[in-house]
Structure 1
Amino acid sequence: MKKLWKADTVSSLTKLSFLLCLILTVHLVGQASAETDADGLWAGEIELGGVATSGNTKTKNFNTRLMVSNKSPKWDHKAVFTGFYTDGGSDDDTRIFTASVNSGYKLSKSSYLVAAFKYENDRLTGYDYRFNESIGYGRKLIDGDRIKLKVEAGPGGRHSRLNNGDQIDELILRAAFDLRWKISKTATLTENFLTVSGDEGTVVESTTALKSNIIGTLAMKFSFKVKWNSDPPNEVENTDTITSITLVYGF
């Protein structure tokens, strides 16, 4: 691991975090007073999946995901919360929790400004937690009825606490793209790609999912997530993967 950032860098990160919070605060105040704007459209998904085995092997696996979004004439908001838990009766039990919030201010039909926040708790990666915040520019490259593709990029800050208690603060560059392809009336393929790069390393995440409607707002979803860290602490492996099958309820 490299040396921790100096105090002046930490101060810059603090100012950046304050700026992001100020942007969101101004937005919330503006929303409250914008009585003439059309009401935002709310949507969401709840996912649940789990496996339990007994006999020679006793394990319990549970994963869940909650997504809530709101779209208005000038703003798009999206919040995602995920949890993954495995209990195999050993010290290697896995508990992963993530929370992310993205807010986009529309500049035109195809471009927008974005503020993105992400918190992750996964002690098996060598970190007690990691938190990112960033601001940037986004653009919809494809916005058709069947295929949608958007990209985002911008600077920000990353705050990490190691399992031994050390704190690391650094400047980062965040880049992401989201692809949504409606294959048929009942099946949709999505790809969410995110990379965050700083002096303490680069993290790349890719989540590929195929969702198929069963009946009404109930669907089945198969997803595969790969996460790669270029410089993990304490000789932790660089790559983690999660494969899951869940039931999805849309609202």
Structure 2
Amino acid sequence: MSRLYMADNSSNPSDSGENVKPFTMDGEFGLIKTTGNTETTSIKATLSAHQELEQWSNDYIVESLYKQDEVDSDDGQITKTTAQKVFVSGQGNYKLTDPNHRIFAFASYEDDRFSGYQYQGTLATGWGQQVWKNDTSSFNYSVGPGYSFAKTEEGEDASGFIVRGAMDYQWKISPTATFRQLISTEIGSDNTKSKSETSVAAKINGSLALKVSLLLNHNSDVVEGNENLDTQTAVTLVYTFF
């Protein structure tokens, strides 16, 4: 197993204005353990919530990834942590006179031990728009200025002003299957951080779904020895609490 943030886990695009729930929350979990010639343990967990109010549309995400591998050393095989990441984000969207036009405020924090950074955080605000939403699909985007707080593994400050853009496209393939594409980018003078998640979720029953996803994380500026692009492929179960 190897997971935009984009802070916009909106309700199902098939929901009409009358059927939109004021609050929804999903929990996502995946566990892979292999034994034999290769010993690995991978755990992926995500909690996402969407709040739809008269004047606000808000999204919250907490996600984590942990992986251990058995590797060869001079003392034989040892257990080594090869992935450890925690990410949290929140976005509030204030609806204007036309509720499809919005002013957004976004905040995120990421602690990824293997990214080359001690931490990366973002504050941004700007313009958002729900371009369309009908029974089969929806599309919205947001763009605006912000500030990135970051520190490299060497202790160097990598903070600076950025321009943040994000988009969310959903397509209801069938009554039980949904395709989703999330993309975000934070463009700064020292580093451009981009994230893409492509997923397909299929309902097993009313509250449980099976999700297959591909996540791409890219930093344009990384320390020597680190890759610019990280990829994660996951098959997870998603449970809808509300």
1:96 shift after superposition: 1.1
The secondary structure found in structure 1 opposite 2:114 is: helix
d(CA) in 2 for partners of 1:242, 1:137 = 30
1:211 shift after superposition: 0.4
TM-score, normalised to structure 1, is: 0.82
1:188 shift after superposition: 0.4
The one of 30, 37, 44 aligned to 1:63: 44
For 1:138, the equivalent position in structure 2 comes to 128
1:16-61 per-residue CA deviation (whole Å, 9 max, x = no partner) reads: xxxxxxxxxxxxxxxxxxxxxxxx8110100110100112211100
The one of 217, 233, 243 aligned to 2:223: 233
Residues 1:210 and 2:191 aligned together: no
Work out whether residues 184 and 196 of structure 2, in 8 Å CA contact, stay in contact via their aligned partners in 1: yes
User: Higher relative contact order by CA 8 Å / sep ≥ 6: 1 or 2?
Assistant: 2
For 2:7, the equivalent position in structure 1 comes to none
For 1:172, the equivalent position in structure 2 comes to 162
AA in 2 matched with 1:104: N
For 1:24, the equivalent position in structure 2 comes to none
Residues 1:73 and 2:66 aligned together: no
The secondary structure found in structure 2 opposite 1:183 is: strand
d(CA) in 2 for partners of 1:131, 1:140 = 25
1:91-135 per-residue CA deviation (whole Å, 9 max, x = no partner) reads: 452101110100000012311000011111112110011000100
AA in 1 matched with 2:33: A
The secondary structure found in structure 2 opposite 1:156 is: strand
1:234 shift after superposition: 2.8
AA in 2 matched with 1:102: Q
d(CA) in 1 for partners of 2:105, 2:122 = 11
For 2:232, the equivalent position in structure 1 comes to 242
**Which blocks of at least 5 consecutive residues in structure 1 are unaligned?**
1-39
Give the aligned CA root-mean-square deviation in angstroms.
Answer: 1.2
AA in 2 matched with 1:143: K
For 1:93, the equivalent position in structure 2 comes to 82
d(CA) in 1 for partners of 2:166, 2:183 = 5
Between the two proteins, what is the percent identity of the paired residues?
Answer: 30
AA in 1 matched with 2:231: T
d(CA) in 2 for partners of 1:168, 1:200 = 7
Residues 1:41 and 2:31 aligned together: no
d(CA) in 2 for partners of 1:169, 1:230 = 14
TM-score, normalised to structure 2, is: 0.85
Map 1:164-203 onto structure 2 (within 5 A). Answer: 164-203=154-193
**Which blocks of at least 5 consecutive residues in structure 2 are unaligned?**
1-20, 71-78
For 1:17, the equivalent position in structure 2 comes to none
AA in 2 matched with 1:100: S
The secondary structure found in structure 2 opposite 1:215 is: coil
Whose strand fraction is larger, Structure 1's or Structure 2's? Answer: 2
For 1:158, the equivalent position in structure 2 comes to 148
AA in 2 matched with 1:103: G
1:235 shift after superposition: 3.7
The secondary structure found in structure 1 opposite 2:154 is: coil
Whose helix fraction is larger, Structure 1's or Structure 2's? Answer: 1
d(CA) in 2 for partners of 1:157, 1:131 = 8
1:38-91 per-residue CA deviation (whole Å, 9 max, x = no partner) reads: xx8110100110100112211100101000111111001110011111000454
d(CA) in 1 for partners of 2:41, 2:128 = 40
d(CA) in 1 for partners of 2:38, 2:232 = 20
The one of 128, 132, 137 aligned to 2:118: 128
Work out whether residues 68 and 80 of structure 2, in 8 Å CA contact, stay in contact via their aligned partners in 1: no
Aligned residues: 212
